Structure 1
Amino acid sequence: MRYYQLSRRGQSILAVETDSGAYDLTSVKPDLDSFGALVRTAEITDRTPDEVAEPHLSGADTLSTEEVRETCGLPIDVDEVWAAGVTYQISEEARRGESSMPEMYVNVYDAERPELFFKSTRDRTVGPDDAIGIRADSDWNVPEPELGVVLFRGEPVGYTVGNDVSSRSIEGENPLYLPQAKVYDRCCSLGPCIATDIQDPQTLDMSMQISRDGETVYDGSTNTAGMVRTCEDLVSYYTRHNTVPDLAVLLTGTSLVPEEGFSLRADDHVTIEIENIGILSNPVVSV
């Protein structure tokens, strides 16, 4: 199932999309008005989110899939977003290429411990069709399309599409500047939904297009099979000796890296698609 967050006349609505169509779960169960409410109910009743939702769909109002996809917002009221770095070989090469201290990244790709870093809070995170930000004090800004693991109390409950927008010039100047390169207003986007029926997150096709003035200036594709680490491994390190919030997303790294010298500009448009999850599209603004 795929869960979308909608707003209609000021009311929060949890929409569910299945192979049979789209449904307004909140219309039949008003307390289930967000994915957070759904997973908390599932926890209390010792069921999965899909097991909670599925029996109610036959009585729920139907929605058009077009309306759902055109009006959905940030799919989860996330407490925090973390991210993993250097989980694909091309990411290791890009990090070493940008950095004034390339030796810092030599052993990260092959090391037992992954690179994990804090990425975003709820207030810094945007949803589908909302603007992502690039830093005005950076002259090299890039999107980073990533598979996101959605966690409830440290346990995976679904997957989403993420964009870890980053300043490569600030990060490359000094690795200690990583928080400034990663954490700022509108630095992260998530959406369009949370997919709970992904059988193997390590076999998903992923693509990214960047358009500028009506023309495509970047078009790349990859597969999550290229990850050197599993999602389970990354989650285990994120939750290790770390009190995590109820709702979190862990981004798992990128292998789609625009060529050196390419930088996002205000009014660009970034579109990311991951197989069986959906399309996350965002315009770009300077912050």
Structure 2
Amino acid sequence: MHPWQQCLPDDAADALLVGRMDFGAGPTPVLLHQGEVQDLSAAAATVSQLLEALDPGSVPCGQRMGGIGEIAAHPRTSVLAPLDLQCIKASGVTFAVSALERVIEERAGGDAQRADAIRRALSERIGGDLRSVKPGSAQAQQLRTALQADGLWSQYLEVAIGPDAEIFTKAPVLSAVGAGADVGIRSDSGWNNPEPEVVLVCDSQGRIRGATLGNDVNLRDIEGRSALLLGKAKDNNASCAVGPFIRLFDAGFTLDDVRQCTVRLDLLGADGFTLDGESSMRQISRDPQELVEQTIGKNHRYPDGFALFLGTMFAPVKDRGEPGKGFTHQIGDIVRIASPRLGRLENRVVHCEQAPPWSFGVAALMRNLAGRGLLA
């Protein structure tokens, strides 16, 4: 069995899975359904175009390429990130645990050795309160006033329990890597971690068309030095992984299923180190629909649609090496992010300069599609 076959959802036969494959000629939108692979390029040259034209709940129709096993066995077939022209956005600090960890990063100034003591002090003061607070509520304002009086307020708590969510651009169009690819961390970062997340995929009208999995690779020391370094901490070569496929919403899989899902992370290091944990979407502070509505509206438009990382509650603190320094990646780590109805996203960690450089951008895609006669 080919590795990407093992990454499909548990109920893959009943799912509508849309993604991108390269059969040798270039990126091709595909449908995986009922054990078969269909080439959708005659109907839509890109996944973005497909989601714009496809009626919600309907089944895409394309040219049958073969059974999943048959396609997986073909040596020239590769699975790409399922996004193409969509803008890749992310929402941060959407879980109470991750909110505390961002405050810890800020107060530690990016120094992992100081984090453990700060974590204990903050948890004693606000850990229980924060999990029960609805963002933007009167209760949130009361907690804000109390924390300010104690000198504990932070810009991260502002977006965790204030009225406005943190929404930022995670990565440029076409830069995401897919299942099985290397994912990159900067070689000058000494404190970093994976961020397993559900990713919603929306069309240009803000309609949520489906969901997939993502790894919002985070450099904690760089962001911890200053929130103004967010771009350097988040947007690097191969630092955004998405996949394996987009599961389209239909009668059997809806936004309510996303609201109830659990995302699991398993990490295996080349040194034998292991790490595991789960994020339950039931514990998210802001509803996914609200996060989408804060991403697109009268002030923000995305004519080719967008993908939105929903945030994570997974902030690993298990020591890897020196006590008190917590977790950080090592080269060769295998990161597996999984959810039963979305599949599994697996990537190997390397330094950004070791990962294949991003070279296939919008101009390259347009030239490729034009050369294949797929542009109207």
Give the shorter-chain TM-score range: 0.7 to 0.9
Gaps of 5+ in 1: none
Offset from partner CA, 1:97-141 (integer Å, 9 cap, x none): 111376222333221211111110135321111111101221111
Correspondent of 1:184 among 232, 236, 240: 236
TM-superposed deviation, 1:83: 0.7
Find the aligned partners of 1:75 and 1:151 in 2 and give their Cα distance.
13
Offset from partner CA, 1:254-286 (integer Å, 9 cap, x none): 011111621112211111012311111111111
Q: Which residues in structure 2 correspond to 1:194-273 (within 5 Å)? A: 194-197=246-249, 198-199=253-254, 200=256, 201-213=258-270, 215-240=272-297, 241-259=299-317, 261-273=326-338
Gaps of 5+ in 2: 1-15, 110-152, 318-324, 353-376
The reply on whether 1:88 has 2:139 as its aligned counterpart is: no
Greater share of residues in strand: 1
Find the aligned partners of 1:38 and 1:245 in 2 and give their Cα distance.
13
Find the aligned partners of 2:24 and 2:239 in 1 and give their Cα distance.
28
Structure 2 contact 106–224 (Cα < 8 Å) conserved: yes
TM-score normalized by the length of structure 1: 0.87
Find the aligned partners of 1:169 and 1:130 in 2 and give their Cα distance.
24
Q: State the SS of the aligned residue for 1:125.
A: coil
The reply on whether 1:63 has 2:67 as its aligned counterpart is: yes
| 1:258–1:23 distance in 2 versus 1, CA, 3 Å | same
Q: Which residue of 2 aligns with 1:31?
A: 43
> Which moves more between the two structures, 60-69 or 103-112?
60-69
CA RMSD of aligned residues (A): 2.3
Offset from partner CA, 1:31-58 (integer Å, 9 cap, x none): 345422322332xxxx23x5251xx47x
Larger Rg: 2
Structure 1 contact 15–68 (Cα < 8 Å) conserved: no
One-letter amino acid of the structure 1 residue matched with residue 64 of structure 2: A
Find the aligned partners of 2:26 and 2:190 in 1 and give their Cα distance.
41
The reply on whether 1:15 has 2:30 as its aligned counterpart is: yes
TM-superposed deviation, 1:94: 0.8
Q: Deviating runs (4+, > 4 A) in structure 1?
A: 65-70
Structure 2 contact 46–85 (Cα < 8 Å) conserved: no
Find the aligned partners of 1:81 and 1:134 in 2 and give their Cα distance.
18
Structure 2 contact 87–304 (Cα < 8 Å) conserved: no
Structure 1 contact 133–185 (Cα < 8 Å) conserved: yes
Q: Which residue of 1 aligns with 2:17?
A: 2
Find the aligned partners of 2:97 and 2:70 in 1 and give their Cα distance.
36
| 1:231–1:247 distance in 2 versus 1, CA, 3 Å | same
> Identity of counterpart residues, as a percentage?
26
Find the aligned partners of 1:51 and 1:131 in 2 and give their Cα distance.
34
Q: State the SS of the aligned residue for 2:161.
A: coil
Offset from partner CA, 1:179-206 (integer Å, 9 cap, x none): 2111121121110000113321110111
Correspondent of 1:175 among 222, 227, 233: 227
One-letter amino acid of the structure 1 residue matched with residue 90 of structure 2: A
TM-score normalized by the length of structure 2: 0.68
TM-superposed deviation, 1:152: 1.2
